[in-house]
A and B are shown apart, each in its own frame.
Chain A
Amino acid sequence: MNAWSCDRVQDVLPDHVAGRLPRLDAEAVAGHVAACHNCAAEAALVARLLAGQPDVPAGMAPRIQEAVRQGRDRTAAAAPRRWRVAAAAAAVVFVAAGGWLWLGGGNGPAQVAGAWDPLPRDWPTGDGMMAGAPVLQDLSVEVIMALLEEMEP
Chain B
Amino acid sequence: MAHEPFAAFSEREDPDAELVARAKKGDGEAFDALVERHHAAVFRAAFAIVSGEDEAADAAQGTFLKALVSLGGFRGDSLFRTWLLRIAANEARALRRRVLRRREVPMDPVAQGADDGASRVESALGAGELVRLEAALARLPEKQRMAVTLRIYEGLSFREVGEVIGSSEGAARVNYHHGIKKLREWLQ
Q: Do A and B bind each other?
A: yes
Contact B53 A54 (CB under 8 A): yes
- Closest CB in chain A relative to B124 CB, distance in Å: 12
Classify chain A's interface size: 35 or more
Judged by a CB distance under 8 angstroms, whether A15 is at the interface is yes
| CB contact list, B106-154 vs A, under 8 A | 129-130, 133-134, 137, 148-149, 151-153
Contact A15 B130 (CB under 8 A): no
- Closest CB in chain B relative to A74 CB, distance in Å: 11
On chain B, the residues within 8 Å of A57 by CB distance are 43, 53, 57
Number of A-B pairs whose CB atoms are under 8 Å?
A: 107
Assembly CA distance A53 to B151 (angstroms): 12
Classify chain B's interface size: 35 or more
On chain A, the residues within 8 Å of B158 by CB distance are 11
Contact B44 A56 (CB under 8 A): yes
- Closest CB in chain B relative to A60 CB, distance in Å: 6
On chain A, the residues within 8 Å of B133 by CB distance are 48-49, 52
User: What is the chain B residue whose CB lies nearest that of A22?
Assistant: B6
Contact A68 B65 (CB under 8 A): yes
Contact A48 B129 (CB under 8 A): yes
On chain B, the residues within 8 Å of A42 by CB distance are 180, 184
Which of A25, A65, A71, A72 interacts with B5 by CB under 8 Å?
A25
On chain A, the residues within 8 Å of B153 by CB distance are 49-50, 53
Judged by a CB distance under 8 angstroms, whether B102 is at the interface is no
Judged by a CB distance under 8 angstroms, whether A37 is at the interface is no
User: What is the chain B residue whose CB lies nearest that of A57?
Assistant: B57
Assembly CA distance A46 to B64 (angstroms): 29
Binding site for A on B (CB under 8 A): 1, 3-6, 8-9, 28, 31-32, 35-36, 39-40, 43-44, 47, 53, 56-57, 60-61, 64-65, 68-69, 129-130, 133-134, 137, 148-149, 151-153, 155, 158, 173, 177, 180, 183-184, 187-188
Can you identify 17 A-B contacts, CB atoms within 8 angstroms? A8-B3, A20-B9, A25-B6, A45-B184, A46-B152, A48-B187, A50-B152, A52-B134, A53-B149, A54-B53, A56-B44, A57-B43, A60-B39, A60-B57, A64-B64, A69-B28, A71-B65
Binding site for B on A (CB under 8 A): 7-8, 10-12, 14-15, 17-18, 20-22, 25, 41-42, 45-46, 48-50, 52-54, 56-57, 60-61, 63-65, 67-69, 71-72
7 closest residue pairs by CB, A with B: A52-B133, A14-B152, A56-B40, A53-B153, A61-B39, A65-B32, A54-B47
